[in-house]
């Protein structure tokens, strides 16, 4: 649990900590709004393109070796970003960080799925959510402190340290499922998914500057859509698919992932535009803008584990319907008025309601997605869920310039917040019509693994002979 939380916290933290550093990065390196979007999307693009292969490779070659590779890649990207001397160098570093994160996040959830039986998983995932959600939400505040008192480069210096600690801790892990005897990587599927996602998002971002009639933009979009369609066709017929499409026959798994797309698209678009608006338009400091986000990490840290346990007892449906709805209402409460924009009166109440909605949503949503599959496929199931959330964030951020018509103003801010709220509402509707209470069944683990975990409180794992 310690390793899973530590490595995921840094990956989530790095996805949001940069938001409040974007104005300072732009002043230092130039590049305008396009660079700001690519600093965010370079990370998300690499993570989204490689997270499906990362989850599949984790199932095939073992959790721990793949986790170590992710830690090394993320740490190297952090060092490169801290020393970036140009926009190209910084975006390259962010891509390397995203590559490492693609192997960290699904691997960490797969560790939890392998170490806890299904009765204990909701509470365990609640603990994971509490810490990682806190890290994600604290990102803007920590980014503001670094920008105002140190430098935006310290964001990346500090993110490399937990990678070293996490790498060392992997040598003390309990035994995890080892490599498959006949491990086969779906290279064709990995290539098609990477090309499809990367070229589609590139077209969305560059369309703001070049226009849709530009041959590069139009060609990238056509190539991306064609590659994604080919990916689905290939996964249907290959004997060793990277993404077993049969998983989506499970109603809970399909519904949870569809809802994840809307909810995480709303979350990332809303939090990014709020971070940029409070600084670039409203004129607040990075620290003041970061302090306004505190309700989210506070409520996540205090209540996420309890929400996971309660959802396991009463069922996730009520949380997955009311949570996104409250988050959407919270966003609609945020908006500038004719007499100016006040963080205390016009931002903080909406952020508090947004935080309540998120803490009610995230843990049950992840639990439903993971409890719908057998533990042997937890790596790819976690990767699919994380891929959906990251790609939703990627696309929503890429569309920010289109929705804002190129510039962030009072009017475009309101429009962006309203779009984010509508995405939350769509997520609530999807959960209402698709999610049912998952069944909980007993799990068996190997004797040698159970023996190392007998000091755990609560129900002990059942034993099964490996001979």
Question: Contact, 242 vs 49, CB < 8 A?
Answer: no
CA neighbor of 274 nearest in space, from 394, 139, 390, 386: 139
Helix (H, G, I), strand (E, B), or coil: what is residue 445?
Answer: strand
Quote the pLDDT of residue 135: 66
pLDDT of residue 20: 67
At what angle are helices 295-314 and 121-149 packed, to 10 degrees? Answer: 170
Nearest to 63 by CA among 273, 368, 279, 375: 375
- How many angstroms separate the CA atoms of 227 and 221, rounded? 10
- Position 223 scores a pLDDT of 93
In this predicted structure, what is the pLDDT of residue 33? Answer: 64
Report the range of poorest mean pLDDT among 23-37, 87-101, 391-405.
23-37
**What does the pLDDT read at residue 262?**
93
DSSP secondary structure letters along 142-154 = HHHHHHHHS-TTH
pTM exceeds cut of 0.75 = no
Q: What is the average per-residue pLDDT within 112-138? A: 68
Q: What is the pLDDT of residues 19-33, one digit of tens each?
A: 667 777 777 777 666
| Mean pLDDT taken over the chain | 75
Which band of pLDDT confidence, cut at 50, 70 and 90, is reported for residue 137? low
168 burial (CB, 10 Å; 0-12 / 13-18 / 19+) is: exposed
Structure tokens at 24: 């300072």
pLDDT score, position 326: 92
| CB 269 within 8 Å of CB 83 | no
With contact defined as beta carbons under 8 Å apart, do 275 and 289 qualify? Answer: yes
Nearest to 286 by CA among 86, 90, 94, 17: 17
Q: Give, as one character, the DSSP assignment of residue 175.
A: P
Can you say how many angstroms the Cα of residue 223 is from the centroid of all Cα atoms in its chain? 25
Which pLDDT value is given to residue 45?
Answer: 74
pLDDT tier for residue 454 given thresholds of 50, 70 and 90: very low
d(CA 80, CA 88): 11
The two three-digit tokens of residue 78, written as one number: 């952090």
Query: pLDDT tens, 245-277?
Result: 777 888 888 888 899 999 988 988 888 888 788
- Residue predicted with more confidence, 141 or 22: 22
Rounded average pLDDT over 331-337? 80
100-109, 174-183, 420-429, 437-446 — which is least confidently predicted? 437-446
**How much is the pLDDT for 445?**
46
Which CATH number describes the domain made up of 2-174+242-464?
Answer: 1.20.1250.20
Q: For residue 239, give the 3-state DSSP assignment.
A: coil
Closest residue by Cα to residue 108 from 93, 120, 124, 84: 124
- C-alpha 20/C-alpha 145 separation (Å) is 9
For the chain, helix (H) and strand (E) counts, in that order, are 18, 2
The answer to whether the beta carbons of residues 133 and 300 sit under 8 Å apart is yes
- pLDDT 10s digits, 168-209: 887 776 655 555 555 566 778 878 888 887 787 777 767 766
Higher model confidence: residue 334 or residue 372? 334
**Cβ(360)–Cβ(380) below 8 Å:** no
The pLDDT, as a whole number, for residue 286 is 66
Distant-in-sequence, close-in-space partners of 48: CB < 8 Å, separation ≥ 6: 98, 102, 197, 201, 387, 390, 391, 394
More confident residue, 372 or 227: 227
Q: Cβ distance 70 to 54 under 8 Å? A: yes
Are residues 53 and 193 in contact, defined by beta-carbon separation less than 8 angstroms?
Answer: yes
The confidence score (pLDDT) of residue 226 equals: 94
Is residue 425 pLDDT above 90, yes or no?
yes
Burial class (CB in 10 A: 0-12, 13-18, 19+), 226: middle
Instruction: Tell me: pLDDT of 453 over 60.
Output: no
The two structure tokens encoding residue 318? 């009520």
pLDDT per position as a tens digit, 281-317: 777 776 677 677 777 777 776 776 677 677 777 778 8
Banded model confidence at residue 450, pLDDT cuts 50, 70, 90? very low
Q: Which helix (H) or strand (E) holds 463?
A: strand 462-464
Tell which wins on pLDDT, 158 or 337.
158
In a 3-state reduction of DSSP, which class is residue 37?
helix
Q: Where are the domains of the chain?
A: 2-174+242-464, 186-241
**pLDDT (0 to 100) of residue 12:** 67
Tell me, letter by letter, the H, E, C secondary structure of 47-83.
HHHHHHHHHHHHHHHCHHHHHHHHHHHHHHHHHHHHC
Q: How far apart are CA 385 and CA 388, in angstroms?
A: 5
CA–CA distance, 435 with 253 (Å, rounded to integer) = 8
CA–CA dist 266, 278 (Å, integer): 18
CA–CA distance from 8 to each of 131, 141, 417 (Å)? 9, 18, 28
Of 10, 23, 7, nearest in space to 272 by CA: 23
């Amino acid at each position: 649990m310690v390793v899973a939380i530590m490595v995921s916290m840094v990956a989530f933290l790095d996805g949001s900590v940069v938001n409040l550093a974007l104005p300072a990065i732009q002043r230092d390196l130039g590049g305008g709004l396009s660079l700001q979007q690519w600093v965010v999307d370079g990370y998300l693009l690499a993570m989204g393109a490689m997270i499906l292969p990362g989850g599949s490779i984790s199932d095939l070659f073992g959790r721990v070796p793949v986790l170590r590779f992710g830690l090394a890649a993320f740490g190297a990207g952090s060092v490169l970003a801290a020393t970036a001397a140009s926009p190209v160098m910084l975006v390259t570093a962010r891509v390397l960080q995203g590559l490492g994160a693609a192997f960290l996040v699904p691997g960490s959830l797969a560790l939890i799925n392998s170490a806890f039986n299904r009765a204990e998983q909701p509470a365990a995932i609640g603990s994971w959510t509490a810490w990682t959600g806190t890290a994600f939400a604290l990102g803007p505040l920590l980014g503001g402190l670094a920008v105002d008192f140190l430098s935006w480069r310290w964001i990346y210096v500090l993110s490399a340290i937990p990678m070293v600690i996490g790498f060392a801790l992997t040598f003390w892990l309990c035994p995890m499922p080892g490599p498959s005897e006949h491990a086969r990587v779906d290279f064709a599927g990995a290539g098609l998914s990477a090309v499809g996602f990367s070229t589609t998002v590139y077209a969305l971002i560059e369309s703001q500057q070049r226009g849709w009639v530009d041959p590069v933009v139009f060609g990238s979009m056509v190539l991306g859509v064609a590659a994604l369609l080919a990916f689905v066709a290939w996964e249907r017929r290959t004997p060793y698919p990277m993404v077993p499409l049969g998983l989506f026959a499970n109603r809970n798994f399909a519904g949870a992932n569809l809802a994840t797309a809307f909810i995480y698209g709303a979350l990332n678009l809303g939090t990014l535009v709020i971070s940029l608006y409070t600084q670039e338009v409203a004129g607040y400091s990075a620290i003041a803008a970061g302090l306004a986000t505190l309700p989210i990490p506070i409520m996540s840290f205090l209540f996420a584990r309890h929400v996971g346990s309660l959802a396991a007892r009463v069922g996730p449906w009520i949380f997955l319907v009311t949570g996104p709805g409250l988050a959407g209402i919270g966003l609609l409460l945020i908006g500038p008025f004719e007499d100016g924009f006040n963080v205390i009166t016009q931002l903080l109440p909406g952020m508090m309601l947004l935080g309540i909605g998120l803490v009610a949503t995230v843990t049950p949503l992840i639990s439903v997605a993971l409890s719908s599959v057998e533990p042997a496929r937890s790596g790819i199931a976690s990767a699919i869920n994380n891929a959906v959330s990251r790609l939703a964030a990627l696309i929503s951020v890429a569309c920010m310039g289109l929705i804002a018509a190129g510039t962030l103003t009072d009017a475009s801010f309101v429009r962006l917040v309203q779009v984010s709220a509508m995405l939350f509402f769509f997520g609530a509707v999807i959960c209402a019509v698709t999610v049912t209470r998952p069944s909980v069944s007993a799990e068996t683990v190997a004797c040698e693994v159970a023996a190392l975990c007998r000091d755990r409180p609560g129900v002990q794992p059942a034993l099964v002979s490996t001979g």
